[in-house]
Structure 1
């Protein structure tokens, strides 16, 4: 039979097919509900023996380490009460009179009003850090020195000096008897909130935000950009040709070189990305919603005010001292920089502060706390041995965002209401490796360090992400394989779940028992250039998410992603249930040339998909971009991957080698698109025998902080 190019549209699936015989086989599959001939192919179905697994019901998992705990009252260094004049509204926001804005250009806010609590919280953290260092610092230093000496003597090739392990440091003798700073509601019964600028979390110290308490980020840009010479925060450009960057801003919670530190509690942190930015320095340049600016950075650095009509250098148009337009919010800047200016000039990006940034730590824990409305990424931990995120709730935007007084119901400067598509770069969790190993003093306070230096190998190791609820405007959790601290020439992956796995757990890199709502799902990348391998992702549910399971890269980043295991996954009403692509973006190639992404040994087992959705399976085609590049097909095994209605699934597949069994997705071979399929897709799959998703889709638990679309996620 001669070859011809025919388009099949079955199951809502469009695929290029090389031969009429392939077309005939596909039609038989669609008509008969089986594989191959005229009936079902029993070899295409595989059920696990015993009881069907129920997603979302596990309360104890022996593969995980023990659940973290809150400190006891006896372990508290200091307790700080909320002020009586700061009372959170039922929607989660502060009332306008709590820290009011003063309209106009060249108006300075009162620091005692817009940032009343930073100094006292930091003072308590510093005192606690000093006490912990005095008590257990010598023991930590001695343990590290002994470990470093042993590692240097062993001289293991291609292995960084890691110093004492996080597993050893988790023992009680390395934790101070008092190590927590606790924020509580006012004892008079009125006052449940704090407003603070950037905080430095010391080594060994836990910030405990008690039940009923919300810690709000100050709206004062000067708190995040304290130096008159820059770098400058709250812009979309820092010159006429250079884009903004979140690295220009201090984070709300900063933590470097830590051992046994944590942020815990049943309270909340709200970064107020929706809030109008103010300044305690009347000369500091702010952008207005009419895109004018109040000053230029050139003039500001000289202590001067630029004349009206001067070109802005913060991403705005012209200086205008007479405008009555309000100041931009953080999310206004994010949308302007990423969606408008970047698309037109290629040099736009927001300089917004992140909620938490941690670099180099052993035993870093986030537990039970609620995180809302970050101006940029919520949590960015790099180079952590023993990173635990357990029972944390992230909801961005929360209902507080829609109560923003400046927005009058249309919070963005464009007039649009917040949605999952316009709250840009609010990733919930972006864990990764650090750029290099280091031997450094521990942070004991905002301006103090330990007397002895401690070794960190820079890897992300022993990462547990469990029992969390996440709904945000970007990645829900994204493993970032961008930095690689490995010795030159060793080619070790940046993130490896088999590296130094602790004795109290089965896996070194695990994402389990989570509920994901809005956002880009559980992702790897797009920074995969340094490699990601050996991850376990199981017992997770996705509801109304933009993506479910996702691996993303491109030939500007490249990198190898391998041995990723997904099991017992329920996905409902996702835009893209499965998205594995080596063509994430069209970023400019690095000066060193293209980097080829390579995704292989990706395994999906027991995955149920409900509702209208898309699936994308794209490996890397040879000579992509017209360059002399090798082909790296997506190599994936799919066992018991089932949709409730194959007609509602749109598949894009290219450059893929797929092995399937018990799959009713319309997965077809295609010579034209370089797709090979080992196995046969079949309708003869009973989803109820694959996986029980009846308890998987639950309402977001933080009802009081729910967004404007209501709390009925499961309806």
Structure 2
């Protein structure tokens, strides 16, 4: 079902938006080697007796010896359809291809991920205590593809410890940083591709892309619990340009997608996607490097904690501009529109690096299920300036508003939001009284994956 939906949308591409490349559906390359599985998975993952039967060395050797433009294929053999690995490194032009029915499981041994002795699987004040499961570092044309899955096992207890990766994250709420691995981290990796893979249960962020030019995600499924999986962002592009995320399905314990602006980030297209539980389609919280030329189109947000979200604060703020959300459906979100310079989770609201949001456009957006709608700038100088064109509530549920240092421009399409006067805020144009038609048909079930269904 999932791939029928993907194929039915292919005619809409190449994409017309802010990624300056011409993006077409990726093609799986021919193999340079085929590795067959040796482990039979249980419903809960890897059997305890198999926890030290690692496939790391043979997978890495295959990646190291593969030619540019070819793929290392992980394939099942009878009932054996699991691989178990510690950290892997992709090479120039090489694809890791996980075949249908196969799962690459991340080892639960924190020692394998250590950047220094004892640095992983703890809570402390250091940075980067763990290596990711898959590193894509200073290479061009690498990829992760296939109809299979990658499982980070964030909810499973670590070897020789009575704690899970996610429990470490909860412990860190009291102070410090959880030292846990991410699944895929790409750094200075131009023309990197993720195609059709399912990713589950990352201990931390699922996909991070930094300092690159050219990143394509097509047909990705991320399936991680809503609660108890702290800081498990789906996809985080930052400090990069020319990024496309398309035809993907994401539900997770934090931001579905978060555009990170700690360094300049631009020319991003996010199109034809379905997001479910999570913290929404986000920009921030760091925006101090600048965020611009962003296009989000044809997106459904079904029961996220926030829907359309731009978040920043005075300690890590900067200019966010030329951002367009077009053809977006949001339902059952406590904060369907959440544009705020008062984000507190990553630092004090006030500081010497204030954010400004300008040239932000919401067009053809429909909302249902009630909630709070926020347009909050930082101060009288650093404002939130938002144009709303055909932005409509489609039901009679209760909505509340927060306006601070905001300039809202209604039209030319109808807008039936009715915000009351706010602090140092102006609304240009008139609200409509009609209720727009629902877009319930746009919300599709989460696609079936090889995983056991997760409880919300």
Q: TM-score, normalised by structure 2?
A: 0.92
Residue aligning to 2:324: 565
Structure 1 residue 69 displacement after superposition: 1.6
Q: RMSD in angstroms over aligned alpha carbons?
A: 2.1
- Which of 167, 181, 186 is the matching residue for 1:353? 181
Residue aligning to 1:396: 224
* 1:286-297 equivalent positions in 2, closer than 5 A: none
* 1:110-509 equivalent positions in 2, closer than 5 A: 113-128=51-66, 131-132=67-68, 176=69, 179-186=70-77, 189-225=78-114, 227-228=116-117, 232-237=119-124, 243-245=125-127, 247-278=128-159, 327-338=162-173, 341-342=174-175, 348-397=176-225, 420-433=226-239, 460-483=240-263, 494-497=264-267, 509=268
Q: SS of the residue aligned with 1:120? A: helix
Distance 2:84 2:145 in 1: 18
Shift of the 586–379 alpha-carbon distance from structure 1 to 2, 3 Å rule, reads closer
Distance 1:635 1:190 in 2: 57
Shift of the 649–115 alpha-carbon distance from structure 1 to 2, 3 Å rule, reads farther
- Which of 640, 653, 666 is the matching residue for 2:418? 666
Distance 1:353 1:262 in 2: 20
Q: SS of the residue aligned with 2:169? A: helix
Shift of the 588–226 alpha-carbon distance from structure 1 to 2, 3 Å rule, reads closer
Residue aligning to 1:687: 437
Distance 1:575 1:374 in 2: 25
Shift of the 614–705 alpha-carbon distance from structure 1 to 2, 3 Å rule, reads farther
Write the deviation string for residues 53-98 of structure 1: whole angstroms up to 9, x where unpaired: xxx9744224422111222xxx211100000xx2234x5x325445
Q: Which moved more, 1:59-68 or 1:265-274?
A: 59-68
Q: By percentage of residues, which structure has more helix?
A: 1
Q: SS of the residue aligned with 1:362? A: coil
Residue aligning to 1:70: 28
Structure 1 residue 653 displacement after superposition: 1.3
Write the deviation string for residues 15-71 of structure 1: whole angstroms up to 9, x where unpaired: xxxxxxxxxxxxxxxxxxxxxxxxxxxxxxxxxxxxxxxxx9744224422111222
Distance 2:204 2:272 in 1: 26
Structure 1 residue 218 displacement after superposition: 0.6
Shift of the 600–57 alpha-carbon distance from structure 1 to 2, 3 Å rule, reads farther
Q: SS of the residue aligned with 2:171? A: helix
Write the deviation string for residues 315-366 of structure 1: whole angstroms up to 9, x where unpaired: xxxxxxxxxxxx111011011112xx12xxxxx2200011011110221000
Write the deviation string for residues 672-698 of structure 1: whole angstroms up to 9, x where unpaired: x1110111112135336xxxx243111
Structure 1 residue 184 displacement after superposition: 0.2
The question of 1:88 aligning with 2:88 is answered: no
- Which of 635, 642, 645 is the matching residue for 2:392? 642
Distance 1:703 1:372 in 2: 10
Distance 1:681 1:421 in 2: 37
Contact 1:80–1:183 (8 Å) recurs in 2: yes
Contact 2:285–2:346 (8 Å) recurs in 1: no
Distance 1:390 1:548 in 2: 21
Distance 2:229 2:282 in 1: 18
Distance 1:123 1:226 in 2: 21
Shift of the 464–226 alpha-carbon distance from structure 1 to 2, 3 Å rule, reads closer
Aligned pairs, number: 441
Q: Which moved more, 1:544-553 or 1:659-668?
A: 659-668
Q: SS of the residue aligned with 2:144? A: strand
Q: SS of the residue aligned with 1:520? A: coil
Write the deviation string for residues 227-261 of structure 1: whole angstroms up to 9, x where unpaired: 43x5x011111xxxxx244x111110011111110
Structure 1 residue 659 displacement after superposition: 0.6
Q: SS of the residue aligned with 2:140? A: strand
The question of 1:607 aligning with 2:365 is answered: yes
Q: Which runs of 5+ in 2 are unaligned?
A: 1-6, 16-22
Q: SS of the residue aligned with 2:12? A: coil
Shift of the 517–587 alpha-carbon distance from structure 1 to 2, 3 Å rule, reads closer
Shift of the 655–226 alpha-carbon distance from structure 1 to 2, 3 Å rule, reads closer
The question of 1:511 aligning with 2:398 is answered: no
Distance 1:695 1:647 in 2: 19
Q: By percentage of residues, which structure has more strand?
A: 2
Contact 1:181–1:207 (8 Å) recurs in 2: yes
Write the deviation string for residues 137-157 of structure 1: whole angstroms up to 9, x where unpaired: xxxxxxxxxxxxxxxxxxxxx
Q: SS of the residue aligned with 2:141? A: strand
Residue aligning to 2:281: 522
The question of 1:697 aligning with 2:440 is answered: no
Residue aligning to 2:12: 61
Distance 1:372 1:62 in 2: 27
Contact 1:114–1:219 (8 Å) recurs in 2: no
Q: TM-score, normalised by structure 1?
A: 0.59
* 1:102-117 equivalent positions in 2, closer than 5 A: 113-117=51-55
Distance 2:10 2:157 in 1: 41
Structure 1 residue 203 displacement after superposition: 1.1
Distance 1:646 1:657 in 2: 25
Q: Which runs of 5+ in 1 are unaligned?
A: 1-55, 100-112, 133-175, 238-242, 280-285, 287-326, 343-347, 398-419, 434-459, 484-493, 498-508, 623-630, 711-715
Contact 1:368–1:392 (8 Å) recurs in 2: yes
